[in-house]
Amino acid sequence: MNFNPFNIFKKKQDFHFPKAAVVEKLKIVAKENNFYIFENTIIYHHTQQLAIPLLVLDPQNNIYLFEFKKWSVKDLKNSSIQKTVNKKSESNNLAFNEKQKYIKKRLNEITNQDDINICNFLLIENLTTQQYNDLDTSVKELLPQNRIIFNDSCEDEILEKLTNISYAHPLNTHTHNATFYLFIQYMMLSHNNTAFMSTYEQINFINSNIKNHQVLHAMPYSGKTTSLLLKAIFEKLKNPSLSIIIISPTLLSCDIMKQKLLEIIEIGHVDVDITSIEIIPPTLLINSHLAKLHKPLLDNQIHIDNTLMEKSFKAADLIMCDDADMLPNDFIAYLMHLQKNSSLVLVSNNIILKNQYTFSKDFLDKKVNSLFIKSDPYANALHIISKLLKDHPPEEIFVISSNLTRKKLYDDLQYFIEDKAILLDSSLNLIHQDLRNLLLSTYEQINTNRVKFILLLDISSASIKELENYCALAKNTAYILYEDECEKITTLKETYASKKK
């Protein structure tokens, strides 16, 4: 049953919910039952947007809409209630119908699902259950008791009302996760583009008002890169004229981010000019500044000329730098200089930098095997690759080693997987290298694409941070191939609770 809008008074209502006891109890219920609660949130769809005062999603993907009223028993007894078709929600009416139509239209266009449960409730601050019982029948017909949360409603009663309404019309299994497409600004995408909701830590960052220089501490594979993209989209939806630059370490990582941005925009059904969100490597930003100063441009090597630290340059209103720890300190100092009067976000786990935001959860598969093989690394690598290729395509295998070893591997692999192995070069655009091959990389290359099988050789040539980063790329198995025990091997074994072979 849906509430029909109806007239009572003429006083305007503030969009923001007050800190009333009935609202706080609802928030407690939501938190204790792992419901997502969204207050004063915008739902975007194409060029349209709809303000939602309060909305809750439960784990079964039911949608609960709430409006808050300060009606007292005196107000309701002395008012003449009648139906209306007003579209705006004010203090004198309820306007759930228009919100429902908008929400259903959005979810239907994206997911092709019509059977979405949208349950409407009214939070009344100044009305008790007993006072409601004393009201006229005509009022109760327009305000059914099972859709009202009174100021004396306890938390168990609130939960019971929510679940009794939603579970009366259970969703089909094929609608699972459909509601996660509701808010594009919080719509995380898995590797197969299935939507799931951002965590509260991510939502807090995406909603934040970025001022001056701020730091995000984020674990590997915590959704940090996608959160940067969602933040950029959200800021452009709020202010299309805002200039935004996202820095990623290499051309390859930039291309992968651009690809992800395009996927989010296309699936999210919103009109955002993706060309207005620049995703560039450090050298391109530096060269823009150098060109303005009529100085020679850089190739691929990052170098900060002293002149750059003395001259101002308006690059963007907001710059966000992903994987800042992989970039030289002088470049980070340059970014801070560049944005001294504008906004800057650094994604960094450097403890020297005080963080304002933290992503503490990662989304890695905890079942990944880490196999430590102590023997001839090169011979074992050829054996493992040969064995894996019998059951898996070459693009599911990624080998990281020193440059000398990878060139030798490339030559030897040509004999039995001709044209199926490539030397990864992250300084090149994605269009210039086919990642649908067996990738041979060095530890200096930066690649964030996850594959089923990772082989690590030449352990001594890599830092422990690089080794841990590449181990985490494996979806199925990480093979750590070494000849001698060392401190790095010990650390990796402790980190990954490894299996020996």
The pLDDT tens digits of the residues spanning 197-250 come to: 999 999 999 999 988 899 999 987 899 999 999 999 999 999 999 999 999 998
The pLDDT tens digits of the residues spanning 110-160 come to: 988 777 888 899 999 999 999 999 998 888 888 899 999 999 999 999 999
Residue pair 121/139 in contact (Cβ under 8 Å)? The answer is no
CATH top-level class for 369-500?
Answer: alpha beta
The pLDDT tens digits of the residues spanning 379-438 come to: 999 999 999 999 999 999 999 999 999 999 998 888 766 667 888 878 777 777 777 889
**For residues 339, 342, 348 and 351, what is the CA-based torsion angle, rounded to 10 degrees?**
90
Share of the chain above pLDDT 90, in %: 58
Inform me whether the pLDDT recorded for 196 exceeds 50: yes
Q: Is 12 helix (H, G, I), strand (E, B) or coil?
A: coil
The DSSP line for 91-136 is: TT---HHHHHHHHHHHHHHHH------EEEEEEEEE--HHHHHTS-
> What's the whole-number mean pLDDT along residues 344-364?
88
pLDDT number for residue 335:
97
Q: pLDDT averaged over the chain?
A: 86
Inform me whether the pLDDT recorded for 447 exceeds 90: no
Neighbours of 32 (CB within 10 A): 10
Share of the chain above pLDDT 70, in %: 88
The pLDDT tens digits of the residues spanning 307-325 come to: 999 999 999 999 999 999 8
What are the tokens at 117? 């449960």
Beta bridge mates, 270: 46
Neighbours of 296 (CB within 10 A): 8
Neighbours of 234 (CB within 10 A): 19
The pLDDT tens digits of the residues spanning 66-124 come to: 988 888 888 887 665 554 444 444 444 455 788 899 999 999 999 887 778 888 999 99
pLDDT number for residue 94:
56
Q: What angle do CA 474, 477, 482 make, to 5 degrees?
A: 100
pLDDT number for residue 406:
92
CA distance linking residue 317 with residue 238, whole number of Å: 14
Say which residues have a Cβ less than 8 Å from residue 208's Cβ, sequence separation at least 6.
Answer: 214, 356, 357
- Its CATH architecture, for the domain 185-359, is 3-Layer(aba) Sandwich (3.40)
Q: Closest Cα partner for 43 from 228, 273, 269, 227?
A: 269
Fold identical between 185-359 and 369-500? yes
Distance of CA 215 to the CA centre of its chain: 17
pLDDT confidence band for 46 (50 / 70 / 90): very high
Residue pair 446/425 in contact (Cβ under 8 Å)? The answer is no
Say which residues have a Cβ less than 8 Å from residue 195's Cβ, sequence separation at least 6.
Answer: 177, 180, 181, 187, 188, 189, 267
Q: One-letter amino acid identity for 159?
A: L
Q: One-letter amino acid identity for 281?
A: P
CA distance linking residue 61 with residue 36, whole number of Å: 10
Say which residues have a Cβ less than 8 Å from residue 350's Cβ, sequence separation at least 6.
Answer: 324, 325
For the chain, the domains span: 6-179, 185-359, 369-500
**For residues 440, 445, 448 and 449, what is the CA-based torsion angle, rounded to 10 degrees?**
-20
Inform me whether the pLDDT recorded for 6 exceeds 50: no
The DSSP line for 260-310 is: HHHHHHHHHTB---GGGEEEE-HHHHHHHHHHHTT-PPP-SS----GGGGT
pLDDT number for residue 428:
77
Q: What is the pTM of this model?
A: 0.85
pLDDT number for residue 246:
98
pLDDT number for residue 171:
52
